[in-house]
Structure formats: C-alpha cells, structure tokens
Amino acid sequence: MRVLTVIGNRPQFVKAGAVSTRLREVHEEVLVHTGQHYDDELSTVFVGELGIPAPEVQLELGSGSNTEQTARMLAALGPLLDEQRPDVVLVYGDTNSTLAGGLAGAQAGIPVTHVEAGMRSFDRRMPEELNRVLTDHLSSLLLAPSTSAVENLRREAATGAVELVGDVMVDVALLVQPRARRDDAPLRAAGVDAGEYVVATAHRAGNVDEPRRLEELVELLLAVPDTVVLPLHPRTRARLEAAGLLDRLAAGVRLLPPVGYLAFTALLTRARAVLTDSGGVQKEAYLAGVPCVTLRDTTEWVETVRHGWNMLVDLDREAALAALGRTPPVQRPALYGEGDAGTRVVEALTRHPFLRAARSASP
Ligand code: UD1
Ligand code: UDP
C-alpha cells in the first residue's frame, strides 16, 4: 500500500517521528513537506533528531494568511496526488497543512486518515478548530488520541471509521524524556538550574496577533517571580517587533530562538512549571510530571485539566501567578496511551477495509 503523508509544521515532525519509520516497515510512504514551516529550527532540526525520513517532496510553499496559504497548498497537492496516486492520504493534527492534505485527498477520491482526530476546543475563532472539524468530516479513518475525542466524533456523527489509538506525541515524549532529564547542556546554555525556572512558549494567533492581547501576555510573563525561559516562536517574535515590545520582554525574560526537540524536552522536564499556549507542550508537561499553566481559556487536552495538572488562565496575570504557586496532585494516570500509538496507527491503516481493497486492486 502506498501512503502519502502531508506534514508542514513543527509538531507534525514530532508526530511523524512516531509513525513514519514503523509505517515504512510494512508499507510504502511518500512524505510531503508543504513548507508551512521553513526555518531549520522549526523543521529540519527534527528530521535529524527524531530519525524521521527526509521528506521525499518539499513543496516550499511558505507563509501567508490562513486562506491564502491553504489555497496555495491545495493548488500544489492536487497535481501531486494525480502524479503519486497513493492509496491513502495521512494527515496529523489541526494546521493548514492538515486541512489542505485532507481536502486535496478527499477531492481526488483518495481515502484520508486523520491522526489526532476528534480533538475540540469548541472555539471556532481558532483556525485550528476549523481545520480539525473539517478534516475529521472528510476523513475515512479517524484515529483518536483519547476517549473524549471519540465521544466528540460520535456526537458529531462523523462518517469515517473511528478508532482509539492513543496519542502519537506520547510515544516520542516517553522515548526522549528519560534521556533529556540527564542532559544539562540546554539548561547551562539558558543559564538556569534544574527546578528553579519556568519554561514558557507562546504562539497562538489569539494571543499574539492583537497588540492589546500581546501586551497582556508580555506583562504576564514579566510578572512571574521565577526566571522565565522562553524559546521564541517566529510568529511571536515578528508580532513583538511590530508592536515595539521585544526589548521590554527581553529585559525580564530569558529569550532563546526556537530550540530543537531534545533541548526543549531537557528544559521542560527540569522546569518548576510550564506556561504555554501550545497543544503539544500541555501534554508533554503532563507526561514529565511538571505542572502546566495554559494561556488560553479552552483546551482540547481536557483530561490534563481534569486530573489537576493543567490550569487554564487565559491571559489573566493574577490567575497565572496563583496557578504557578499551586502544588500538583500525586496521581498521574496514562491519559493518552502507553506510548504505542504509532504502532496502533500502522495497524489500523493495515487492517482497515478500504485499504485492504486498495491493496488487492494494485498490480
Ligand atoms: C502554525 C499552526 C498552529 C501550530 C503552529 C506550530 C495553522 C493555522 N497554525 O502556526 O496550529 O500550533 O504552526 O508551531 O496552521 N514563520 C517564520 N518561519 C517559519 C514559519 C513561520 O518566520 O519557518 C513566521 C512567519 O512570519 C509566519 C508566522 O511565523 O507568517 C506564522 O507562521 P504560520 O505557519 O502561518 O503559523 P504558526 O503561528 O506557525
Ligand atoms: N518544541 C520544540 N522546541 C521549542 C518549542 C516547542 O521542539 O522551542 C516542541 C514541543 O516539545 C512539542 C512541539 O514543539 O513537541 C509543539 O509544537 P508547537 O507548540 O509549535 O505547536 P502546537 O502543539 O501548539 O500545535
């Protein structure tokens, strides 16, 4: 069977890290990088670190508004699918690259498999929520990371086959975190000691694109009494520069360029707490047993909140400071699988009836 996988963003490199190598043991894969992320530190660094095969196709489509970027991807993916003729299109998560891959596949009559299906923030102002809902409803196979995701898909009467496989990011985190805990170099480079700093990330459009919200974010980060280490996403850097806030933030927060997965995991596992608006980082903090404070008022990873390890504070400074001061609970059950989601994705692809049909039809 021939699988064409579409990736394009930092978290999708991590997700492909759990699947691509295993997939290639049993099937043929064509990995397509849309080029939505193009800086080395958001893309190629992960290929080397996580043993992901180098993408066979680089579309180099770059940045743009959500609509423009998605349209450019669709225009490139249509002819590519005609040329490659895969049996299935595989997409991950909720970015513009996810929707473009899914829609191009469905329009070409190729079954689409969505990994990380069923996640919902129920906030349609987020481009990611639109991408998730649309991708789920055009996919034939919906591979969900949690029971709440399965319930969401059932409630929406999604027409694809739904399977609970766990979260592929967990596979990678469980593999890398023990090693990262012993790696002091990223802490030395940031000038911090284990347990004595907070690691932060922020890049959600809803937090950084509007100057008033961006300023609230800056004031919140500056109010944290601990040393804050913030590897700065390029979107956020650009918005801070445009708003004239970069120097103010740099005066009180340790700013780094985006770092690779191994360095970030070292910083995360030894932090006293995490402050983030990232989806992936909320889960990774939970797995590392580091309390998380999420700079949003919704999350798709609701179980981390229910189990007391994650608090949603939006950009409320006082709420964030209070949340940073709390003691985490003792229990930390496996919420998103045991680290075998990659294997289960490949098994589901191999077992699924539409794919068996594709295999028996191929010469
Ligand atoms: C995208 C995803 C988001 C995901 C994030 C992962 C969508 C709608 N958003 O957000 O869900 O959480 O990736 O990090 O798909 N830029 C660079 N270099 C790069 C890439 C981007 O400088 O390699 C800058 C450009 O100024 C660009 C901006 O960052 O305009 C935003 O990039 P974009 O890919 O549109 O969205 P992200 O904020 O990265
Ligand atoms: N990450 C990284 N370096 C950084 C910040 C994050 O490697 O400087 C990793 C992080 O460990 C997680 C992923 O990037 O695996 C999350 O990506 P991001 O926050 O960009 O996107 P989201 O998960 O919000 O879609």
Atom 2, ligand 1: which residue's CA is nearest?
A: 95
Band (358; pLDDT cuts 50, 70, 90): low
Residue 57 phi/psi, 5-degree rounding, is -125, 125
d(CA 286, CA 281): 9
CA of 357 to the centre of ligand 1 (A): 37
Q: What is the tens place of the pLDDT at every residue in 12-49?
A: 999 999 999 999 999 999 999 999 999 999 999 999 89
- 3-state class (DSSP) for residue 88: strand
How confident is the model at residue 12, as a pLDDT?
Answer: 98
114: nearest Cα among 262, 5, 243, 235: 5
d(CA 296, CA 136): 23
d(CA 318, CA 281): 22
Of the residues 33, 114, 203, 352, only one is catalytic, namely 203
d(CA 363, CA 357): 12
Write out the two tokens for 335: 């919420």
CATH placement of domain 174-324: 3.40.50.2000
pLDDT above 90 (res 214): yes
Ligand 1 pocket, residue 354 CB under 6 Å: no
Active site (annotated) includes residue 37: no
Residue 341 CA to chain centroid, in angstroms? 15
> Ligand 2: which atom is nearest the Cα of residue 172?
15
Q: Which of 47, 67, 235 to mutate to test the pocket of ligand 1 (most atoms within 8 A of CB)?
A: 235
Side-chain half-sphere of 23: how many Cα atoms within 13 Å?
27
Q: Which amino acid is at 221?
A: L
Q: What is the tens place of the pLDDT at every residue in 232-281?
A: 999 999 999 999 999 999 999 999 999 999 999 999 999 999 999 999 99
Band (219; pLDDT cuts 50, 70, 90): very high
Atom 12, ligand 2: which residue's CA is nearest?
A: 280
The CATH superfamily assigned to 2-167+338-361 is Glycogen Phosphorylase B; (3.40.50.2000)
d(CA 231, CA 251): 15
d(CA 277, CA 299): 9
pTM, full prediction: 0.97
Band (187; pLDDT cuts 50, 70, 90): very high
Q: Where are the domains of the chain?
A: 2-167+338-361, 174-324
Q: What is the tens place of the pLDDT at every residue in 276-303?
A: 999 999 999 999 999 999 999 999 999 9
How confident is the model at residue 353, as a pLDDT?
Answer: 73
Same fold, 2-167+338-361 and 174-324: yes
34: nearest Cα among 65, 52, 57, 66: 57
- 3-state class (DSSP) for residue 58: strand
d(CA 170, CA 308): 19
How confident is the model at residue 86, as a pLDDT?
Answer: 97
204: nearest Cα among 115, 295, 113: 295
Band (151; pLDDT cuts 50, 70, 90): very high
Ligand 1 pocket, residue 55 CB under 6 Å: no
pLDDT above 50 (res 363): no
Average pLDDT over residues 170-197: 97
200: nearest Cα among 315, 44, 51: 315
